[in-house]
Amino acid sequence: MNKSIIFCGVGGDGIITASNICAVALMRANFDVKKSEVHGMSQRGGSVNAFLVYGKKVYSFLPAKGSLNYMFASEKLEALRNVDYLNPDSKLLVNDRIVPIVGANIDEAQIEESLKSYSLDLKLINFNDLAKQHNMQKAINTIMLGYFSKIIEIDKKYFIRAISDNLSPKLIDINIEAFEIGFNLQ
Amino acid sequence: MRKIISGNEAIAIGAYRANASFASGYPGTPSSEILEYTKTFEDIKVQWASNEKSAFEQALGSSIAGRRSFVTMKHVGLNVAADSLMSSSYTGVNAGFVVVVADDPGMHSSQNEQDTRLFAKFAQVPILEPSDAKEAMGFMQYAFSLSEEYDTPVILRSTTRVSHTQELVYFDMHKLGGMEDKLLAKNISKYVLVPKNALLRHKKLLERNTKLQKLTNEIPLNKMEQGSLNVGIITSGVSYLYAKELLPEANFLKIGLSWPFPIDLAKEFAKNFEKVIVIEELEPYIEEQLKIADIKNVEGKKFFPQDGEFNLDIVEEGLAKASVLEKRHKKYFEVPKNLPLRPPVLCPGCPHRPIFDILHSLRVYVTGDIGCYTLGAAAPLSSIHTTVCMGASISMGYGIAKASQNHKIVSVIGDSTFLHTGIQPLIDAYVNNVAYTVIILDNSITAMTGGQPDAVSGFNIKNEPAPKVDLENLVRSIGIKRVFKVDQYDYKKTKEIIEQEVNTKELSVIIATRPCVLAPIKIKEMPYFVIVDKCIDCKRCLRIGCPAIGYKENKAYIIEDLCTGCGLCAEVCPTLAIVKGESNE
Ligand code: SF4
Ligand code: SF4
């Protein structure tokens, strides 16, 4: 059976890079992989998402609504925006933060309550705070990926290689360190 | 090599393997990255052009010179190059010439959803439709030889989902054999389209069509796949993948070369089934070909929408309507209603923001254009009243200024768009004495599509220094007298000049000169902060729509790591509550 992941967040916050690293890790783990994302207007601070489908043989780039296995969300509101892709068995990793929207009032408590009401396997962790503690504000998503690799049960060695494959040399060490921080988080 | 690559990267690799040696284009989502990848190949000369027509003809010229060449653009770009396309179909080519056009079903980043297959039919040139990255690479390679063998331009049609999807592909980087450069072609009767020659070329074109018609029925790109279900599906592009995922046991006729349409093949396929379903994004192109040929048992748009981008849910729904599939995927949750939308916005520090704030406060009528600055139409700036296509701001401003004497009309246009198709209507406005104000928003880059250089950037696609056009000299050379340069970060001065010009009954051009905050370098200065005690909750700063400004407990606040320090909020704050520096709270 193929599995699928959604990566969602706000334009410019590194969602595409995170999904690229994950795609390469899955390739290294010997899966067929297809990834789909939308560029364009969404890069200007709008909602962004990328889908990753992997398995023995993948046809469609996109999963169907209600069929997703995992979610990687860098923001709570954006996680909520994509719940129609999920089902009661989906597992979610959500960064516990809200990015404001120009001209909108966001009721953070309600967003959170709403998210929890789906009774999903939800891990809500503030990765921004965690990154700040370690002085790694530029590698928040990589810390998240470290934790996420355990949720999707893919050996971390594939991720470490994917980080080396995907990032420029001067960023590799710090991102591997960031990955380990996430991986070792309980 | 085993690698995850995007459709756009695959197209570039396909061109390289086919020994292409020249490429040009105008950036446009979703096509832009094709040239960005192509530039990494040393054997291919690559460059951005001012517009698609220019790019198209450069590549056609290079083909006539004997080098395999291609041009890239998005679907609406082909409208600009349509003139060249229609006639190059008559002249034919010398070395292989491929026109790569990326459609955008669903309009993720476009002003319409037109279907390039109709252009192929109109111009009578072959069009290839890959379904994914792997096919995009192979189809691109094949497109060059098809072009040479049949002496015709060939269109390769991608879509957003093909261009921007990444998948695992196995390939090598060896060039294919048998595609040597040719000599420069000198053949007046072929390449000079005066009526006498063109009439003969039209006959040639029709002969070519007959040959292509035969080819399309035999070519492996149009292939039948046998399945165990008694259902026949005819499909192309990404629709094939969705259908295959949902109904792998069905029989398929997968169309890879969609003009000329393989009608004999389709007849042969259709006669085996009681019902044949056509699945295609946007226009009912395939369906119409089948119905014109009087194939009776086909239906397509009866089950599938003619607008928007397809996905698994839409295709599943259509197949269920056609009663060949029971819905398998269940929807469990609904997205909560009234969740605030997160629309794209001008970046923090964007140099277009002060201009729109000024235009908003002056209550003028603004014709806009295609680029980042189209976002000036969104609330709270809400200061653009028309956006139609590239260059239209100046020409429509002209029309509106002519028709409504009493209104203050301002046209805003980016530097790249101005050079694309804005300069011609400006010349018209000058020679016809039309009085209005044109603001060139010169951020010295094509920003919307990801920061490609243009003729005023001073560097080229390979990041090498390049000659640059001086916009002020260019505009003055038309003969226009009232030309002003402003620094829009100097808000007061800029406002003064704009106000003065909209109140002057003469044609004037204001060039606003600040580079994009994202490209080629990310600009980040010391951030600003709000002195809480001085904030009187007037919300004036919120009305500039900067994403770095938030609001809670009746006070504005600035998100430090988003703020680029442009100072606009400080300029508009009536109580001087906003100042430079980090908050010490
Ligand atoms: S403009 Fe100044 S006073 Fe008004 S809300 Fe903004 S910070 Fe406060
Ligand atoms: S200075 Fe003000 S307007 Fe400029 S980026 Fe910072 S918050 Fe936004």
Ramachandran region of residue B258, left (φ > 0), alpha (ψ -120 to 50) or beta?
Answer: alpha
Alpha carbon of B478 to ligand 2 centroid (Å): 37
Range with the lowest mean pLDDT among A45-59, A97-111, B15-29, B275-289?
Answer: A97-111
Distance between CA atoms of A181 and B584, rounded to whole angstroms? 30
Find tokens 């003065």 and name the residue. B500
Judging contacts by C-beta atoms under 8 Å, the chain A residues touching residue B312 are 60, 62-64, 67
Structure tokens at B557: 């606040």
Spell out which residues line ligand 1, taking CB within 6 angstroms: B 530, 535-541, 556, 573, 575, 577-578
Judging contacts by C-beta atoms under 8 Å, the chain A residues touching residue B4 are 20, 23-24, 27, 33, 35
Mean per-residue pLDDT for B571-584? 89
Structure tokens at B479: 């003969």
Report the residue among B347, B488, B525, B528 best suited for mutation to probe ligand 2: largest number of ligand atoms under 8 A from its CB.
Answer: B528
CB-based contact, B29 to chain A, within 8 Å: yes
- How many CB atoms sit inside 10 A of residue B481's CB? 10
8 Å CB contact of B313 and A65: yes
Mean per-residue pLDDT for B61-76? 97
Could you check whether the bond before residue B380 is cis, i.e. omega within 30 degrees of 0?
yes
**Confidence at residue B200, expressed as pLDDT on a 0 to 100 scale:** 97
**B242 pLDDT exceeds 60?**
yes
Could you check whether the bond before residue B260 is cis, i.e. omega within 30 degrees of 0?
yes
C-alpha B203, offset from chain centre: 34
Q: Are A119 and A154 in contact (CB under 8 A)?
A: no
Distance between CA atoms of B454 and B49, rounded to whole angstroms? 8
Distance between CA atoms of B137 and B14, rounded to whole angstroms? 4
Please tell me which of the candidates B2, B340, B448 has its beta carbon nearest to residue A101: B340
Alpha carbon of B207 to ligand 2 centroid (Å): 63
Cα-Cα-Cα-Cα torsion B387, B390, B393, B394, nearest 10 degrees, comes to -170
Q: How distant, in Å, are the alpha carbons of A2, A123, B158 from that of A52?
A: 10, 20, 20
Q: Are B68 and B19 in contact (CB under 8 A)?
A: yes
**Confidence at residue B24, expressed as pLDDT on a 0 to 100 scale:** 98
The alpha carbons of chain B give a radius of gyration, in whole angstroms, of 27
Ramachandran region of residue B329, left (φ > 0), alpha (ψ -120 to 50) or beta?
Answer: beta
**Confidence at residue A104, expressed as pLDDT on a 0 to 100 scale:** 83
Structure tokens at B380: 């709270």
8 Å CB contact of A64 and B329: yes
**Confidence at residue A41, expressed as pLDDT on a 0 to 100 scale:** 56
Distance between CA atoms of B429 and B178, rounded to whole angstroms? 53
**Confidence at residue A106, expressed as pLDDT on a 0 to 100 scale:** 86
**B186 pLDDT exceeds 60?**
yes
**Confidence at residue B440, expressed as pLDDT on a 0 to 100 scale:** 98
Distance between CA atoms of B394 and A60, rounded to whole angstroms? 43
CB-based contact, A132 to chain B, within 8 Å: no
Q: What is the pLDDT along chain A (186 residues), one digit of tens a residue?
A: 899 999 999 987 889 999 999 999 999 999 999 999 865 555 678 889 999 999 999 999 999 999 999 999 999 999 999 999 999 999 999 999 998 888 788 888 999 999 999 888 999 999 999 999 999 988 999 999 999 999 999 999 999 999 998 899 999 999 999 999 999 998
Q: Are A62 and A4 in contact (CB under 8 A)?
A: no
Alpha carbon of A46 to ligand 1 centroid (Å): 25
**Confidence at residue B405, expressed as pLDDT on a 0 to 100 scale:** 78
Alpha carbon of B199 to ligand 1 centroid (Å): 70
Residues in contact with B363: Cβ distance below 8 Å, sequence separation at least 6, in sequence order: none
Helix residue spans in B219-340 (DSSP H): 237-246, 263-270, 285-292, 312-321
Q: List, in sequence order, every residue forming a beta bridge with B24; answer none if it has no partner.
A: B47, B71
Mean per-residue pLDDT for B527-533? 96
Measured in degrees and rounded to the nearest 5, phi and psi for residue B141 equal -60, -45
Structure tokens at B286: 């395939």
Q: Are B485 and B554 in contact (CB under 8 A)?
A: no
pLDDT class of B585 with cuts at 50, 70, 90? low
CB-based contact, A107 to chain B, within 8 Å: no
pLDDT class of B331 with cuts at 50, 70, 90? confident
Q: Which of B1, B3, B4 to mutate to test the interface with A (most CBs of A within 10 A)?
A: B4
**Stretch 23-42 of chain A: residues touching chain B, C-beta under 8 Å:** 23-24, 27, 32-42
8 Å CB contact of A65 and B161: no
Q: Are A125 and A185 in contact (CB under 8 A)?
A: yes
**B510 pLDDT exceeds 90?**
yes
**Confidence at residue B470, expressed as pLDDT on a 0 to 100 scale:** 98
Please tell me which of the candidates A45, A64, A114 has its beta carbon nearest to residue B336: A114
**Stretch 308-327 of chain B: residues touching chain A, C-beta under 8 Å:** 311-313, 316
ipTM over 0.85: yes
Structure tokens at B135: 């096919």
Find tokens 């009661």 and name the residue. A88
**Confidence at residue B467, expressed as pLDDT on a 0 to 100 scale:** 97
Each residue's pLDDT tens digit, B353-399: 999 999 999 999 999 999 999 999 998 999 999 999 999 999 999 99
Is the C-alpha dihedral spanning A88, A93, A96, A99 positive or negative? negative
Alpha carbon of B545 to ligand 2 centroid (Å): 10
**Confidence at residue B490, expressed as pLDDT on a 0 to 100 scale:** 97
The alpha carbons of chain A give a radius of gyration, in whole angstroms, of 16
SS3 content of chain A, % helix, strand, coil (to 5): 45, 20, 35
Q: What is the per-residue DSSP string for B110-154?
A: SS----HHHHHHHHT--EE--SSHHHHHHHHHHHHHHHHHHTS-E
CB-based contact, A126 to chain B, within 8 Å: no
**Confidence at residue B327, expressed as pLDDT on a 0 to 100 scale:** 79
